[in-house]
Structure 1
Amino acid sequence: MEKKELLTEIEMRAIDHEISMVPYKKAAVIEALKIVQKQRRWISDESIDAIANYLEMSAAEVDSVATFYNLIFRKPVGKHVILLCDSISCYVMGYGKIYEALQKQLNIQFGQTTKDNLFTLLPNVCLGCCDHAPAMMIDEDLYEDVKEEQLDRILELYK
């Protein structure tokens, strides 16, 4: 018999809070995914099933939401996720040099995680700060007007 992953008490309380603010359970699916991901760093197939059961949805419905949003991670990620904006504004303002420097410093490419599981590097189509390009985000921290020479200091904050 295979082991089913269940939601923790903390996750259920947080999801219940979100359910209380919407007209029906299914409307809390995005927040439920974010809650579980915050605890576990990613959303496994078992987590999809657990959320689906809790919200009285099909696993396919939950998975379609999870795969639509690029900030819901369906495979394991590092402790810190680096989102590097690759929009046209960031591209024109030096995104390429920032990407090359990050690749060199972390020894990874987009979609990869460092060997110590500390950082995952992902592209992001827009971080919404085109007037301060190039931009990147680490976890929930936004960095604007990023220069290569700042990267060592920025990354050190997360080690």
Structure 2
Amino acid sequence: MTQHNETTTTLNTLIATLIDSVEGYQKSAGDVDNPRYADLFNARARERQQAITGLQAAVAAAGGNPEDDGSVMGTVHRAFQSLREVVSTRDDAAIIAEIERGEDYLKEKFEAALRHADLSPEARDAVNKAWDSVKAGHDEMSALKHGTERHSPAGSSYTN
């Protein structure tokens, strides 16, 4: 496989995963009871959309066809399928826990891409910029999850 193909494949995989993340955040924003969480999730979705745009530009610059749809691949799809199922419970703590699980998955995908030695300098720059959003989102959702666990209402059905 040529460097061009490897680069575009890596970037498009990240794009598809980020699109799934945007959709997960948007769905969650509509289903949480706490308006603060809804605002936070919508802001994260907008930020992720900007990361997608940057990665799509890098794919185009590398001569590839940028991904513009979410993933229907097994692992990526399953990572966010649990979120969709939990969202139907309208349990804020459970929704946050599932978002954080998705963030863990996304973080792993980006860490693997950043270890990929064959990325062009332009592609690596785009991945690094998107990584800033992923890392911040992961850390924020992790802190939110742990804060929610400590402060969840007695009637919450969430357990870890």
Whichever structure has more helix as a proportion of its residues is 2
Higher RCO (C-alpha under 8 Å, 6+ residues apart): 2
Provide the TM-score with structure 2 as the length reference. 0.26
Whichever structure has more strand as a proportion of its residues is 1
Provide the TM-score with structure 1 as the length reference. 0.26
Max Rg structure: 1
